Amino acid sequence: MGKTISGILFAGLAATGCTTAAKAPPPTARPSSTAKPASAKVTYNYTARDRDCLKRAMYFESEHADRDGYMAVGTVVMNRLTSPAYPDTICEVVAQEKQFAPGVMTRVVDPKTGPELDSAVDGILRGERHPGVQNAMFFHTDGLKFPYRNMHYVVEAGGNVFYEKRGRDGALQTPAPLPAYDVAMNYVSDPRLSGPVQFAGVQPFATSTKIDVLLPEKGPIPRAMPDAASIPDATTTSAIPAASPASTAPGTVMPPEGSPIALPTPRPAYNSAGLAAGHLPAGG
């Protein structure tokens, strides 16, 4: 071979030192006892009429194009719905004056486009979006030119070009819409319930919450055990002082001096707070 194992190891270590900087051990994550609220979706109620309004906008604004064009217009409608700058229901967004095609709320939709158009509408309501539209809330017919410098174009689809309004610093000039993953659409039959849903007092948590258990401040206080010196060592009458004749009650029988006698041992104080359920005998 011509090379010893130690030489190979040395060469390997030298090469590593030339190309790799020493890395500090990763910091140990400290457990946190504070629960963090989990992100919750914003729910919007929609009715059959709202669905029809969305369908109309997607159909007439895309010039009866294809699914790609339908999805692009539908994404703009949903971007406006979830932006604070626009109304809170789909129909109110679509029916805004001078925003969508004239007659969008009254013209007849060609029934031949039903399956593909309905599939696109249902996809939008399920959370699908056109990936190229991004945060765009505006579009116009492809081929038109405008001199405004705040028109930031993002995609062309269905005969339209879609754009965001951004300032010189690149920031959106219109309040941003919610991402699709933060929006949930809920069908309701009552038109009065259409719009965003407000949940009062509901705060979901991603982790469990630490609970402090309050214990009573006062409880039974155990009495001290009797001192060993106070217990007689010999259980005989010699340790008991003799009673005087005057204090002896009539009929009292005294044992002869020096005879053994049994004295009760003091019982320890009973402390109920010191017992544990695990120390109780089975079946007791």
Listed residue (162, 180, 196, 197) closest to 90, CA to CA: 196
58 in Cβ contact with 76 (< 8 Å): no
Phi, psi at residue 49, to the nearest 5°? -70, -40
DSSP assignments along 199-220, one per residue:
-SS---BSS----PPPPPS--P
How many other C-beta atoms lie within 10 A of the C-beta of residue 154? Answer: 16
Residue range 125-164, pLDDT digits in tens: 999 999 999 999 999 999 999 999 999 999 999 999 999 9
Ranges 17-26, 95-104, 107-116, 225-234: which has the least confidence: 17-26
- Which tokens sit at 9? 């190891």
How far apart are the C-alpha atoms of 17 and 153, rounded to whole Å? Answer: 50
Question: Which one is predicted more confidently, 231 or 18?
Answer: 231
Domain coordinates of the chain in residue numbers? 42-196
Higher pLDDT, 199 or 261: 261
Is the model's pLDDT at 24 over the cut of 90? Answer: no
Residue with tokens 């959370």: 127
Pairing relationship of beta strands 138-141 and 42-46 according to DSSP bridges? unpaired
Answer whether 236's CB lies under 8 Å from 260's CB: yes
Report pLDDT digits (tens) over 177-203.
999 999 999 999 988 888 787 543 344
pLDDT tens digits, 26-54? 444 444 444 444 557 899 999 999 999 99
Choose among 134, 129, 135, 140: nearest CA to 174. 135
DSSP 127-185: T---TTTTT--EEEETT-----TTEEEEEEETTEEEEEEB-TTS-BSSPPPPPGGGEEE
Question: Which of the 8 DSSP states describes residue 46?
Answer: E
d(CA 72, CA 134): 10
The per-residue pLDDT of the chain, averaged, comes to: 74
Pairing mode, strands 151-157 and 42-46: unpaired
Q: If you compute the radius of gyration of the chain from its CA atoms, what whole number of angstroms results?
A: 43
Q: Are 248 and 254 in contact (CB under 8 A)?
A: yes
Structure tokens at 129: 């979006």
Amino acid at 159: G
Q: Inform me whether the pLDDT recorded for 89 exceeds 90.
A: yes
What is residue 111's predicted lDDT score, i.e. its pLDDT? 83
Give φ, ψ of 96 to 5 degrees.
-60, 140
Give the span between the Cα atoms of 269 and 221, in whole angstroms. Answer: 10
- pLDDT the model gives residue 3: 44
